[in-house]
């Protein structure tokens, strides 16, 4: 049986793979995308979109209760059935027809099934019915298979059949009690969501909550979770697990235990590379695929790894950024053009290093970009830290009667530019892109004085940071 030939093969039709394929097609490359599950991938059906849908209703209710005049109108609690209905609509009931239609319109061929390498630029796809199709790429193969939840090796944990993030975001019934392992973004967001449903939540954190972020962010979120009734167990680990007739029982390293109807494990991610046949092309199954800034897998001239699978920045928007760049680079190289001629320039994914924006949709929201104070000092930067209490800003009082929040800017003193910013508070997510532009654009502090924030908005924090830093002397 002869193989079907394409210029580019993309493995994985999530948001990242879709963008690689789209940019390749726009660059004149014939492209096929292979998907074993749903077109649209993790973000559309089990991560970004359903998780935010689960969070929104209770957040809106809390926001109303924080404002006199609105709080009197709130007479009920969250309608959990309504939240789940809305989540189901947002995920299209886990039906990918609309995403498939988009592929058709973009000129991207779709092949459903499990992909496995059989050699250099060669991929075999096995469909659910056992049908086998061999593919060969003239120019490039891009792996965009993403990552999966990590299940730690804790005695008895696998046997109690815990939830992963997929189960938590797609659940059709809500447990009375939930124990969550992990204090990162997934753990904090799901603790917020399920506490909003009235579930009794215990959050078990080995170190501190949101430990990769500025400490004040984790502190504000921890205080909020406590107000929502979440029991936060920090500095402990789960050492063993077993299940009774009705509940799971978790033994803790401090001698305590947690009993809950359901357990969610959110302690990290692992690459989806275990069953791709990587050994046939000289790589280890189950490994992250290391790439350069053009997303080319090191040691090859044809294999690209884009999104979570390369372990550079496990965020959908960063994966899509990489994908747009990779698709352009593949097309440029196929035509013999220098990579510098691609729209993204010679170094296409440099924002993955120090300029990564991220929003954690807890209550309060946490929005951050660039380096934290600790990371900047560890990198040997000479910095100045600018802190401002967001409750002091006039615009904050329009959001809540007792607004709580904090903002921190990190200034590189040697260059006079921002290299990091973190906001924690209600409605701070929309502040983040202004900080991202200032950091990526390396806008001098003295120029930021002429970017006047509107009054009364939370954006006035930019003026307050500048005032704290000190007005530059006139020239």
Residue-level pLDDT at 1: 62
Q: Return the structure tokens found at 192.
A: 């917020």
* Alpha-carbon gap, residue 109 to 125, rounded angstroms: 14
Residue-level pLDDT at 475: 40
40-88 pLDDT tens trace: 999 999 999 999 999 999 999 999 999 999 999 999 999 999 999 999 9
Q: Is 169 in a helix, a strand, or coil?
A: helix
Task: Give the mean pLDDT of 428-456.
Answer: 96
Q: What angle do CA 163, 166, 171 make, to 5 degrees?
A: 75
Query: Binning pLDDT at 50, 70 and 90, where does residue 448 land?
Result: very high
- Burial class for 44, CB neighbours closer than 10 Å (0-12, 13-18, 19+): buried
Asked if the model's pLDDT at residue 346 lies above 80, the reply is: no
Q: Which domains does the chain have, with CATH numbers?
A: 4-40+96-148+270-351 (3.50.50.60), 158-267 (3.50.50.60), 364-469 (3.30.390.30)
Per DSSP bridges, beta strands 177-181 and 262-265 are parallel
398-424 pLDDT tens trace: 989 999 999 999 999 999 999 999 999
104-122 pLDDT tens trace: 999 999 999 999 999 999 9
Asked if the model's pLDDT at residue 459 lies above 70, the reply is: yes
Percent of all residues in the chain with a pLDDT value above 70, rounded to a whole number: 97
Beta-carbon contacts of residue 70 (< 8 Å; ≥ 6 apart): 64
Q: Is 116 in a helix, a strand, or coil?
A: strand
* Alpha-carbon gap, residue 95 to 426, rounded angstroms: 33
Residue-level pLDDT at 344: 60
* Alpha-carbon gap, residue 257 to 249, rounded angstroms: 7
2-36 pLDDT tens trace: 899 999 999 999 999 999 999 999 999 999 999 99
Residue-level pLDDT at 337: 84
Task: Give the mean pLDDT of 177-185.
Answer: 98
Helix axes 15-26, 97-106, angle to 10 degrees: 20
Given a contact cutoff of 8 angstroms between Cβ atoms, the answer to whether 457 and 430 are in contact is no
Task: Give the mean pLDDT of 295-303.
Answer: 97
Q: Which helix (H) or strand (E) holds 219?
A: helix 215-227
Mean pLDDT of the chain: 95
Given a contact cutoff of 8 angstroms between Cβ atoms, the answer to whether 176 and 199 are in contact is yes
Query: Binning pLDDT at 50, 70 and 90, where does residue 473 land?
Result: very low
Residue-level pLDDT at 313: 95
Task: Give the mean pLDDT of 362-380.
Answer: 97
The model carries a pTM of 0.94
Which string of DSSP letters, residue by residue, matches 173-215? S--SEEEEE--SHHHHHHHHHHHHTT-EEEEEESS-TTTTS-H
Query: Binning pLDDT at 50, 70 and 90, where does residue 474 land?
Result: very low
Residue-level pLDDT at 26: 96
């Amino acid at each position: 049986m002869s193989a079907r030939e394409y210029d580019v093969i993309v493995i994985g039709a999530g948001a990242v793979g879709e963008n690689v394929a789209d940019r390749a097609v726009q660059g004149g490359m014939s492209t096929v995308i292979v998907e074993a599950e749903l077109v649209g991938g993790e973000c559309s059906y089990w991560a970004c979109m359903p998780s935010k849908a689960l969070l929104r209703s209770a957040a809106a209710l809390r926001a109303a209760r924080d404002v006199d005049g609105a709080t009197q109108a709130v007479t009920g609690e969250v309608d959990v059935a309504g939240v789940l209905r809305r989540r189901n609509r947002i995920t299209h009931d886990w039906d990918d027809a609309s995403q498939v239609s988009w592929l058709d319109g973009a000129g991207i061929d779709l092949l459903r099934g499990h992909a496995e390498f059989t050699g250099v630029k060669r991929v075999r796809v096995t469909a659910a019915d056992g049908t086998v199709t061999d593919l060969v790429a003239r120019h490039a193969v891009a792996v965009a298979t993403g990552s999966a939840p990590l299940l730690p090796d804790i005695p008895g944990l696998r046997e109690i059949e815990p939830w992963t993030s997929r189960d938590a975001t797609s659940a059709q019934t809500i447990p009375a009690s939930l124990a969550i392992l992990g204090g990162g973004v997934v753990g904090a967001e799901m603790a917020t969501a399920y506490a909003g449903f009235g579930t009794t939540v215990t959050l078990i954190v080995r170190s501190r909550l949101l430990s990769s972020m500025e400490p004040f962010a984790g502190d504000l979120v921890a205080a909020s979770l406590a107000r929502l009734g979440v029991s936060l167990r920090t500095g402990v680990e789960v050492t063993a697990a077993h299940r009774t007739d009705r509940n799971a029982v978790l033994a803790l390293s401090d001698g305590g235990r947690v009993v809950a109807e359901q357990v969610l494990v959110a302690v990290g991610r692992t690459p989806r590379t275990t069953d791709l046949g990587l050994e046939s092309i000289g790589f280890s199954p189950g490994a992250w695929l290391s790439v350069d800034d053009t997303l080319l897998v090191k040691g090859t001239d044809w294999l690209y790894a884009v999104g979570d699978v390369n372990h550079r920045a496990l965020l959908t928007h960063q994966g899509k950024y990489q994908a747009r760049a990779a698709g352009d680079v593949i097309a440029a190289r196929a035509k013999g053009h220098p990579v510098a001629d691609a729209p993204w320039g010679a170094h296409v994914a440099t924002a993955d290093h120090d300029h990564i924006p991220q929003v954690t949709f807890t209550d309060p929201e946490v929005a951050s970009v660039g380096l934290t104070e600790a990371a900047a000092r560890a990198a040997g930067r000479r910095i100045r830290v600018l802190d401002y209490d967001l409750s002091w800003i006039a615009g904050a009082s329009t959001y809540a009667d007792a607004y709580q929040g904090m903002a921190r800017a990190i200034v590189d003193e040697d260059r006079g530019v921002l290299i990091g910013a973190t906001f924690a508070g209600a409605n701070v997510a929309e502040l983040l892109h202004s900080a991202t532009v200032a950091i990526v654009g390396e806008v001098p502090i003295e120029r930021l004085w002429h970017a006047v924030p509107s009054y009364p908005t939370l954006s006035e924090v930019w003026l307050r940071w500048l005032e704290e830093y000190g007005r530059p002397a006139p020239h």
